[in-house]
Structure 1
Amino acid sequence: MKKVHLITCIACFLISLSYAQKKADLQDINTTWAKFYKAFETLDYTLMAEIHAKDLVRVSGGRRIIDYDSYINNYKAGFERDKAAGQTSNISLRFFERLCNDSTASERGVYKLVRNKGTDEEQAYYGQFHVLFKKRDGKWKITMDYDSSEGGTIGEDDYNKAFAIDDFDKFLN
C-alpha cells in the first residue's frame, strides 16, 4: 500500500511540473511587452508591427474588429499625428491573470495610458485588456488583442489592484 501511495504522489508531482508555468517564459514575454512600452514612448509604429503576428485579430471592445494591416496603419497615422503635435504617450500594464506554456500565453489585466505626462494637458485613460500570444520563430507574438474601458468603469483603483508586470510570483504554480 505504501508503494502505491508513493507512486501516486510521484506521478502527481511530475504531472504538476508538466503544467507549471515557468518564470523564464513570463520574463521572455516581458521582452515583448518592453517593446510595446517603447513603441508608445518613442511613438514608433514599427515596434508595434514587430511584436504583432500578421494574422492578428484586434478587438476594440464594443466597437470593431480589425486585422494586422489596419491596426498597424492606425498606429502609424496616430503616432505620426502625435509627433507632429508634440504629444507624448506612456503606457503601463498590470495583470490579474498570466497563463502560459512554452508556446502559448493568455494575459489579462488593466492598462494605464498617460498622454502628455507632467504637463498641464496630462490625461490618463484606463481599460481592461486580454492578449493571446504565440511563440513563433523563438519570439512571442501577439495574435489577439482585446481591450475595453467597460463603459468607462475601469480606473485607477482597478489598475492598482492588479499585479505589476515583474511580479512573477503571483502567477507561478
Structure 2
Amino acid sequence: MLRKIWVPILLVVLCYSQAKAQNTDHLTAINSVWAKFYNAFETLDYTLMAEIHSKDLVRVSGGNRILDYDTYINNYKAGFERDKKAGQTSNISLRFFERLCDGNTSSERGIYRLVRNKDTDNEQSYYGQFHVIMKKIDGEWKITMDYDSSESDTIGEDDYNKAFAIDDFDKF
C-alpha cells in the first residue's frame, strides 16, 4: 500500500525538479540576450540591438505606434549616435513579474528603469512596463515582439522595486 502512494509522489517531485531545472536553463540562456541589451545601452552600440532582435520584429512603443525591425534599429542607431556626440550616457535595467518559457518561446513582462547621465548633476530616471516575446530562431533567442509603455507616467520606482531581479529564477 505504501508503495502505491510513494511512487506517484516521487514521480511528481522528480518531474517538478526536472521542469524547474529546465526553466532555469532557459532563463539563463534568455538572460544572455538581456546582457547584450544592457550592453547596447551602456556602450551606445546599436549593432547589439540589431543582433538580439528578429528581422520579423513587431515593436509597439508607448501604445501609440508600431515599428518594424529596420525602423526600430535605425532609430537606435540615430539615437545612440546623437547621445555619443552629446556625451550622454544610458543605463537600463529590468525587473520581472512574469517569465514564462516552454523552451522555444518565452513571454517576459516587467518594469524597466532607464537612467540617463548616471551619477551626474543631470541624472534622470525613466520607468515603464514592458512585455517581450522571444523565440528560439536557429538555436538563438531573439526578441520577436517588444511592447513598452510608461502607462501615462504612472510606472515608477515603487513598481520597479516590487518586481523580481533578473537572476531571481526561483520566483518563476
TM score, norm. by length of structure 1: 0.90
In 2, are the aligned partners of 1:19 and 1:101 still within 8 Å (CA)?
Answer: no
Query: Deviating runs (4+, > 2 A) in structure 1?
Result: 1-21
Query: Separation in 2 of the partners of 1:107 and 1:151?
Result: 21
In 1, are the aligned partners of 2:37 and 2:49 still within 8 Å (CA)?
Answer: yes
Match of 2:71 in 1: 70
Equivalenced residues, count: 171
Give the C-alpha shift of residue 11 in structure 1: 7.7
Matched, 1:27 2:28: yes
**CA-to-partner distance for each residue in 1:134-169, whole Å, 9 max, x for gaps?**
011211100000000000000000000000000001
Give the C-alpha shift of residue 6 in structure 1: 7.4
Give the C-alpha shift of residue 7 in structure 1: 8.0
Give the C-alpha shift of residue 15 in structure 1: 7.5
Match runs of 1:12-161 below 5 Å? 22-161=23-162
Query: Separation in 1 of the partners of 2:8 and 2:95?
Result: 38
TM score, norm. by length of structure 2: 0.90
Give aligned-pair identity as a percent: 73
Give 2:150's aligned amino acid.
S
Give the C-alpha shift of residue 63 in structure 1: 1.2
Q: Structure 1 unaligned runs (5+)? A: none
SS at the partner of 2:161?
helix
SS at the partner of 1:126?
strand
Q: Structure 2 unaligned runs (5+)? A: none
Query: Separation in 1 of the partners of 2:18 and 2:168?
Result: 22
Moved more, 1-10 or 157-166: 1-10
**CA-to-partner distance for each residue in 1:1-56, whole Å, 9 max, x for gaps?**
98987787678678767865510100000000000000000000000000000000
In 1, are the aligned partners of 2:63 and 2:148 still within 8 Å (CA)?
Answer: no
**CA-to-partner distance for each residue in 1:83-123, whole Å, 9 max, x for gaps?**
00000000000000000011100000000000000000000
In 2, are the aligned partners of 1:98 and 1:105 still within 8 Å (CA)?
Answer: yes
Query: Separation in 1 of the partners of 2:67 and 2:7?
Result: 51
Give the C-alpha shift of residue 170 in structure 1: 0.5
Query: Separation in 1 of the partners of 2:6 and 2:39?
Result: 50
Cα RMSD over matched residues?
Answer: 1.9
